[in-house]
Amino acid sequence: MALPSYAGPLETTWYYTFRFICACIFVFLITPILVIIPLSFNVEPYFTFTQGMLSFDPDAYSLRWYEDFINNTQWTHSVKNSFIIAIASTILATVLGTLAALGLSKPHMPYRALTMGVLISPMIVPLIISAAGMYFFYSSIGLDQSYLGIILAHTVLGTPFVVITVTATLVGFDNSLSRAAANLGATPTTSFFRITMPLILPGVISGALFAFITSFDEVVVVLFLAGFEQRTIPRQMWSGIREQISPTILAVATILVMISIALLATLELLRRRNEKLRGLSPG
Amino acid sequence: MADDATMNGVVLAADGLPLKASLNKAMRKSRLRALLLVAPLFIFVLFSFLIPIFDMTMRSVDNWHVSGLMPETTKALENWDGKALPEEPVFAALILDLKAGAISREIGKVGTRLNYEKSGLRSMITSSARKSKKVKEGPYKPIVLKMHKRWKELETWTVIKRNTSKYTIGYYLNAVDMKYDNKTNDIVMQPEERQIYGTLFLRTFAISLAITLICVVLAYPISYLLATLPVRYSNLLMIFVLLPFWTSLLVRTTAWIAMLQSQGVLNDLFVFFGLVDDANRLQLIHNLTGTIIAMTHILLPFMVLPLYSVMKTIPPSYMRAALSLGANPVTAYVRVYMPLTLSGIGAGSILVFILSIGYYITPALVGGTDGTLISNQIAYHMQSSLNWGLAGALGALLLFSVLALYLIYNKIVGIDNMRLG
């Protein structure tokens, strides 16, 4: 959308105004995330830039909040919890979701729309309602304040993403490939693991990443279901913000931003691989 | 003369069965296989998600307290006409129930339930239950009337009688700012100062609408830029949209606290540039402004992504054609380009609106008092006031509006076309 050479002064003005407006919106999107990174190195226990930080005085910066994070058993415990819960629920959600997506993509699946509606309902229902419903349910079967309860709850919340991404990948799947495999003597299992799985793998992985981030970032259900033992990182941040605002939260936030950058990069690589496999231009 | 395979007009398959039956059998098999693959997740979602939610919404009409904990009174009141205080048998039954309730220590629940409809009844029930332990023999009516002055009021009995039924619409009435008039048993509006939920629903809708509109205004130009720039630049700029999208919600909320608080980055900048006096820094957080700014930031990617994917499909030649046919840029834009993006605006708007009316975390952390939404009130009744019936009623109303919106979304976009990332 380069400015053509015949553009008049009005068009030129509009062109640069438009770019300026866009730049402002991009700044709005990215600034809050970038601002917390330097603030997490603050030597003072504040959420603000000190005079020393602004004049780039090395003494105004420190790693004390990162040390605090590493040495605080509450935080390290919550990190452990977050990973246990997220990994377990991701595995469950990916297996269940992929199987269901395979079924949904079969040409003779009856009641397809209705089934799809039920399967993705956990994504649509507002979290507070899901959390309240699951709170009553899991306490009635004695699974509140337990790891299993939270893992199962997060599995439910994560499956819609797996179902959606894998179904989307299967749209481009050529069924004659598995027929050819069967024709050549492969059992359905062999044909699934040797033919189907490698082709839909990008969809499965990105679905799994969505399920992981859903669980890793989820706090409403944890607020209702978890006891003190099962506190996750977001739950710890929640009480950190509500009770004692300390820049340790900013250190944790910075680490989490780094994790999301890594996730973003992984997804982008997967997208390119997927496009290459389907013969689309890599962009 | 037809050969064997088509005798009597029936086409036969290789194994000698009629082709139609054979085909049906194969179809049944493949259908069954599809169902078996879907079944584990379907059953899991049904039992651990849908039924619990249904169960929670049922709490909003459930009214077991009086009929369950005061069975004798319930039976005795069956034929009471409601015109005057009940007669002796009802009081005898009441004493029985109060004694049983005092022993099982459950009677307080009846008190709490009745108190939702008329304040003061909780203390009446609990104190009477305590006194009932000493009651030996009748006549019971004068004894009970002496226990608490409210037993003498006809209203008290109207409330009890009304709640002997197993189901109630009382919580829904409460959720839409109505109530029973305890004298006449009619449904009336709550007094003005107690009409909070109607206002809250309206505010939730208004805030969500405002956030949706701001998101459209902010998303439109950048989506256009992203869709029209060469791919190598737009992929780079896309990071600005995707990084916030993938960053933890709590992190973004924390970031906005650091930005907006009175000693925060924005206020510091304002003071530095002399826009604001150091003494009266702007109050940007723990109020409506904070909620709107933070939620707009959090939901903006959900608007940009569908808009971008729609704009990406519009060939630039359309605009060039309009321009070369003599339209000025504004006309060309309004008549040609914008109509083509309407489906994207619709999809993004409904998505953002659905997400924002159910939002809980961000308003709870940066909303203060005037920036909280209906979800926060549901959480309050779930966790603090423990009025689960009311939480259920508010939740059911919220769920209903979200589902209605979702059906519209499904009509416009189709869930299969939903793009993630």
Between CA B159 and CA B115 the distance in angstroms is 10
Question: What is the percent of chain B where pLDDT is above 70?
Answer: 96
Q: Report the pLDDT value the prediction gives residue B421, as an integer from 0 to 100.
A: 43
Give contacts of A 30-49 with B, CB under 8 A.
30-33, 35-36, 39, 46-49
Predicted local distance difference test score (pLDDT) of residue B2: 44
Confidence of residue B170 (pLDDT cuts 50, 70, 90): confident
Within 13 Å, how many C-alpha atoms sit on residue A131's CB side?
23
Residues of A in contact with B242 (CB under 8 A): 264
Summarize the confidence of residues A92-101 as an average pLDDT. 96
Q: What is the Cα Rg of chain B in Å?
A: 32
Q: pLDDT band at residue B208, thresholds of 50, 70 and 90?
A: very high
Residues spanned by CATH 1.10.3720.10 within chain A? 74-245
Choice between A15 and B418, residue whose per-residue pLDDT is larger: A15
- Mean pLDDT over the full length of chain A: 88
- Over the stretch B313-371, which tens digit does the pLDDT of each residue have? 888 899 889 989 988 888 988 899 988 898 889 888 988 999 999 999 999 999 888 88
Closest CA–CA distance from residue B358 to any residue of chain A (Å): 5
At residue B414, the pLDDT reads: 67
pLDDT at B415: 59
What pLDDT, on the 0 to 100 scale, is given for residue B148?
A: 85
- What is the percent of chain B where pLDDT is above 90? 29
Q: Using a CB-CB distance cutoff of 8 angstroms, which residues of chain B are in contact with residue A217? A: 248-250
CB A36 within 8 A of CB B254: yes
Closest CA to B174 of B195, B192, B152: B195
Q: Is the pLDDT of residue A282 over 70?
A: no
ipTM for the complex shown: 0.86
Residues whose CB is less than 8 angstroms from the CB of residue A280 and which lie 6 or more positions away in sequence, other chains included: none
Tokens of B236: 């780079």
What is the model's pTM? 0.86
The percent of residues in chain A predicted with pLDDT above 90, rounded, is 46
Question: Using CB atoms, which residue from B221, B268, B415 is nearest to A21?
Answer: B221
Mark out the alpha helices in A40-183 (DSSP H runs): 51-54, 64-71, 73-104, 112-124, 127-140, 147-171, 175-183
- Residues B50, A118: C-beta atoms closer than 8 Å: yes
pLDDT exceeding 70 applies to what percent of chain A?
96
The whole-angstrom separation of Cα A152 and Cα A133 is: 14
pLDDT tens for each residue of A99-123: 999 999 888 788 888 898 899 899 8
Would you state the pLDDT for residue B205?
94
Q: Residues A141-198: pLDDT tens digits?
A: 998 899 999 999 999 999 999 998 898 888 878 888 888 998 999 998 898 888 888 8
pLDDT score of B214: 97
Residue B237 has pLDDT above 70, yes or no: yes
The 3 state secondary structure assigned to A220-233 is: HHHHHHCCHHHCCH
**Which of A6, A12, A29 is most worth mutating to test chain B (most B CB atoms within 10 A of its CB)?**
A29
pLDDT at A281 over 50: no
Tens digits of per-residue pLDDT, A29-52? 999 999 999 888 888 887 778 777
- Predicted pLDDT at A97: 96
In the structure encoding, which two tokens stand for residue B299, read together?
């939901």
Q: In the structure, what pLDDT confidence band is assigned to residue B416 with cuts at 50, 70 and 90?
A: low
CATH level 3 topology of A74-245: MetI-like fold (1.10.3720)
Which residues are CB-neighbours of A166 under 8 A, at least 6 positions away?
A97, A98, A101, A102, A200, A203, A204, A207
Average pLDDT on B239-247 reads 90
User: Which B residues in the span 351-380 are in contact with A, Cβ-Cβ below 8 Å?
Assistant: 354, 357-361, 365, 375, 378-379
pLDDT at A32: 92
Write the pLDDT tens digit of every residue in A243-255. 877 888 999 999 9
The per-residue pLDDT for range B248-264, each reduced to its tens digit, is 899 999 999 989 988 88
